[in-house]
Amino acid sequence: MFGWLRERRRRAILARPFPPAWLEILARNVRQTAWLSDDEAEAVRAWVAVFLAEKRFEGCGGLEVTDEVRVSIAGQAALVMLGLEGEHLDRLQSVLVYPGDYLAPKSAPLEGGGALEWQEERLGETWAGGSMVLSWPRVVAGGRLRDGPRSVVIHECAHAVDMLDGEVDGIPPLASPGETRGWAAAIDDCQLHFEEALDEGRSVPFDDYALESPGEFFAVASECFFQDPHRLARFDAPLYGLLRQAWRQDPASRVPFRRPP
């Protein structure tokens, strides 16, 4: 019953004209939309329209949430979700946006009792309770391809998709248990390859924060998959293939090998 009502509501959303001002924001702050096919561009616009209608945006630290903020975030998320037809991150209820990097409390137990507490600077995070937190300048830098392989929106969307099966383990939902086992073993090999490259002082395509956990490896590698796909494919073709399987799309087929400035 609820699924039918939701689909009916979404059909009504998609029947509305896509605002020209939103197209201008996508062109300005989601640079990759310039390289989409007509069908892909239409799918991105549809996903953006549904996302903006269904999610609550909140400004934190004095940030005013405008259409610029909302469409820039939704547009980058839509690129990530292009291959996952019908997936609208229904568990995600709200997007919190800060005017810059922000501080979050951290603690660690001390031997003998008590805890060490401190403030940790963050760019973004995704909570199992249904919220995503983002730094606005980092959103802009990622969307305009000004931060190398990094994109806070792509990173947090990767965590949100990772959570769909209930666990942040670096393994996205796949078609079958057998496929999941094979994928998990293969990405472990890719993580080992990345660690070896770092140990040997070789150039790597993304940040060593990826080694924090399997979930972070998946999220950081996914950033590079979308933001700098050709470099990732040169560094580790099997890893690129695994992410192409997970995201069901091939960014290298549309992102220019040498991007214009």
Q: Is 90 exceeded by the pLDDT of residue 259?
A: no
For 16, residues 6+ apart whose C-beta sits below 8 A from its C-beta are 49
Rounded average pLDDT over 180-207:
96
pLDDT of residue 2: 57
- Taking only the tens place, the pLDDT of each residue in 210-243 is 999 999 999 999 999 999 999 999 999 999 999 9
Residue 260: its pLDDT value, please?
A: 58
Does position 1 have pLDDT exceeding 60, yes or no?
A: no
Q: What is the pLDDT of residue 216?
A: 97
> Any idea where the domains of the chain sit in the sequence?
16-105+115-253
pTM for this structure? Answer: 0.92
pLDDT at 153: 98
Class of domain 16-105+115-253: alpha beta
Give the model's confidence band at 116: pLDDT under 50 very low, under 70 low, under 90 confident, else very high.
low
For residue 32, the model assigns a pLDDT of 97
